[in-house]
A and B are shown apart, each in its own frame.
Chain A
Amino acid sequence: MGAEQFEQPFSEFEPRIVAFCCNWCSYAGADLAGVSRYQYPPGVRIVRVMCSGRVEPVFIFDAFKNGADGVLVTGCHPGDCHYVSGNLNAERRVENTRKALEYLGLGAGRLRLNWISASEGLKFAEVMRGFTEEIKALGPSPIKSRVGVKNPKS
Chain B
Amino acid sequence: MEKVKEGEERIGVFVCRCGVNIGGVVDCDEVAGYAATLPGVVCTSVNKFTCSDSGQADIQEHIRKYNLNRVVVAACTPKTHEPTFRVCCEEAGVNQYLLEFVNIRDQCSWMHIWDPEGATKKAKDLVRMGVYRAKLLEPLEESEVAVDQNALVIGAGVAGMQAAMDLGDMGFHVYLVEKEPSIGGRMARFDKVFPTNDCSICILGPKMVEVARNENIEIMSYSEVVEVEGFVGNFEVTIEHKPRYIDIAKCTGCAQCAEKCPVEVPYDFNEGFGTRGAAYVPFPQAVPLRAVIDLENCLRSEGKECKACLKACERGAIDFSQEKKYSKVKVGVIIVAPGFVTYDPEPRNDYGYGLYDNVITTMEFERLLNAAGPTEGHVIRPSDCKEPMRLGFINCVGSRDIKTNVHCSGGVCCMFNMKNAILLKEKRPEISCYIFYMDIRASFRGYEEFYNRARELGIRFVRGRPSEVIGKENGNLVIRAEDTLKGVVRNIEVDLVILGTGIVPHSDIEKISKMLKIPRAADGLLMEAHPKLGPVDTVLGGVFVAGGASGPKDIPLAVAQGSGTASRAARLLVTGKTKIEGITAASDESCIGCGLCVDACPYGALTPDEKENRVVVVGAICKGCGTCAATCPVGAMEQRHFKTEQVEAQVKNLFALA
Q: For residue A10, give the distance in angstroms from its CB to the closest CB of chain B.
A: 12
Q: Contact partner of B626 among A40, A51, A93, CB < 8 A?
A: A51
In A28-80, the 8 Å CB interface with B consists of 28, 30-31, 33-35, 37-43, 45-51, 53-56, 58-59, 62-63, 66-68, 76, 79-80
The verdict on B77 contacting chain A, using a C-beta distance below 8 Å, is yes
Q: Does A24 contact B (CB under 8 A)?
A: yes
The verdict on A1 contacting chain B, using a C-beta distance below 8 Å, is: yes
Please tell me if A85 contacts chain B, counting CB pairs below 8 Å.
yes
Partner of A120, one of B514, B522, B624, B642: B522
A41 to B119, CA, bound (A): 9
Is there a chain B Cβ closer than 8 Å to A111's Cβ? no
Per-position binary interface string of chain B over residues 101-143, scored 1 when its CB falls under 8 Å from any chain A CB and 0 otherwise: 0010111101111110011011001100100000000000000
For the complex formed, measure the closest distance between the CB of A26 and the CB atoms of chain B, giving whole angstroms: 11
A67 and B655 contact, CB distance less than 8 A: yes
Interface residues on chain A, size class: 35 or more
User: How far, in whole Å, are A1 and B520 apart by their CA atoms in the complex?
Assistant: 42
- CB–CB A42/B111 < 8 A: yes
A28 touching B79 by the CB < 8 A rule? Answer: yes
**Structural contact, A89 and B106, CB atoms closer than 8 A:** no
Asked whether A93 lies within 8 Å of B112 as measured between CB atoms, the reply is no
Tell me if A66 and B651 are in contact (CB < 8 A).
Answer: yes
Of A46, A50, A84, A118, which is within 8 A of B519 by CB? A118
Query: Which 10 pairs across A and B sit closest by C-beta, in order of nearness?
Result: A54-B626, A42-B118, A34-B106, A83-B625, A53-B627, A84-B602, A51-B625, A34-B110, A67-B655, A5-B656
Complex CA distance for A1 and B519, rounded to whole angstroms:
40
Contact residue among A31, A43, A81 (Cβ-Cβ distance under 8 Å from B79): A31
| Residue B603 lies at the interface, judged by CB distance under 8 Å to chain A | yes
Given contacts A42-B112, A42-B119, A42-B122, contact A54 B627 (CB under 8 A): yes
Q: Given the interface contacts A6-B655, A59-B647, A117-B520, does A40 sit within 8 Å of B111 by beta carbon?
A: yes
A7 engages B655 (CB within 8 Å): yes
A1 touching B652, Cβ below 8 Å: yes
User: Is the beta-carbon distance between A45 and B654 smaller than 8 angstroms?
Assistant: yes
Q: Hey, which bits of chain B sit against chain A, CB under 8 A?
A: 77-79, 103, 105-108, 110-115, 118-119, 121-122, 125-126, 129, 513-514, 517, 519-522, 527, 539, 583, 600, 602-603, 623-627, 629-631, 639, 642, 644, 647-648, 650-658
- A42-B112, A59-B651 known; A84+B105 contact, CB < 8 A: no
Q: Which residues of B contact A37 (CB under 8 A)?
A: 110-111, 113
Given contacts A119-B520, A119-B522, contact A47 B110 (CB under 8 A): no
Question: Do residues B654 and A66 form an inter-chain contact, with CB atoms below 8 A?
Answer: yes
B602: A residues at CB distance < 8 A: 83-86
Q: Is the CB of A7 within 8 A of B642?
A: no
B654, A16: Cβ atoms closer than 8 Å = yes
Decide if A1 touches B656 in the complex (CB within 8 Å).
Answer: yes
Confirm or deny: A25 has a beta carbon within 8 angstroms of a beta carbon on chain B.
yes
Contacts A54-B625, A82-B517 aside, 15 further interface pairs with beta carbons under 8 A come to A1-B656, A5-B657, A6-B655, A16-B655, A41-B112, A42-B112, A42-B115, A66-B651, A67-B655, A80-B513, A80-B514, A89-B600, A93-B630, A118-B527, A125-B111
Residues of A bordering B, CB below 8 Å: 1, 5-7, 16, 18, 23-25, 27-28, 30-31, 33-35, 37-43, 45-51, 53-56, 58-59, 62-63, 66-68, 76, 79-86, 89, 93, 117-120, 125
Given A34-B110, A119-B522, is A50 in contact with B656 using a C-beta cutoff of 8 Å? no
Q: How many A-B residue pairs have CB under 8 A?
A: 169
A46 contact set on B, CB distance < 8 A: 103, 107
Chain A residues within 8 Å of B654, by CB: 16, 18, 45, 47, 63, 66-68
Q: Complex formed: what's the CA distance from A108 to B113 in Å?
A: 32
Closest to B656 in A: A5
Chain A residue with Cβ nearest B523: A119
Q: Is the CB of A56 within 8 A of B625?
A: no
Flag if B514 contacts A49 (CB, 8 Å).
Answer: no
> Are B519's CB and A89's CB within 8 A?
no
How close is B233's CB to chain A, nearest CB, in angstroms? 18
Cβ of A28: which chain B residues have Cβ within 8 Å of it? 79, 519, 539
Listed by A's residue number, 15 A-B pairs whose Cβ atoms lie within 8 Å are A5-B658, A7-B656, A25-B519, A28-B79, A33-B107, A33-B111, A34-B108, A39-B113, A42-B121, A45-B125, A49-B642, A63-B651, A66-B651, A67-B655, A117-B520
Set of chain A residues within 8 Å of B114, measured between Cβ atoms: 39
Closest to A25 in B: B519
Alpha-carbon distance A35/B603, docked complex (angstroms): 34
Q: Identify which of B600, B648, B657 contacts A7 (C-beta below 8 A).
A: B657
Using A49-B647, A63-B654 as known contacts, say yes or no to A117 and B519 having CB atoms under 8 A apart.
Answer: yes
Q: Name A56's contact: one of B110, B118, B644, B650 (CB within 8 Å).
A: B644
In whole Å, how far is B535's beta carbon from the nearest beta carbon of chain A? 15
- Chain A residues whose C-beta falls within 8 Å of the C-beta of B126 in the assembled complex: 45
| Distance A26 CA – B626 CA, assembled complex (angstroms) | 16
Residues of B within 8 A of A54 (CB): 625-627, 629-630, 639, 642, 647
Closest to B539 in A: A24
Query: In the bound complex, how far is the Cα of B559 from the Cα of A12, in angstroms?
Result: 58
Given contacts A30-B106, A50-B626, A80-B519, contact A62 B655 (CB under 8 A): no
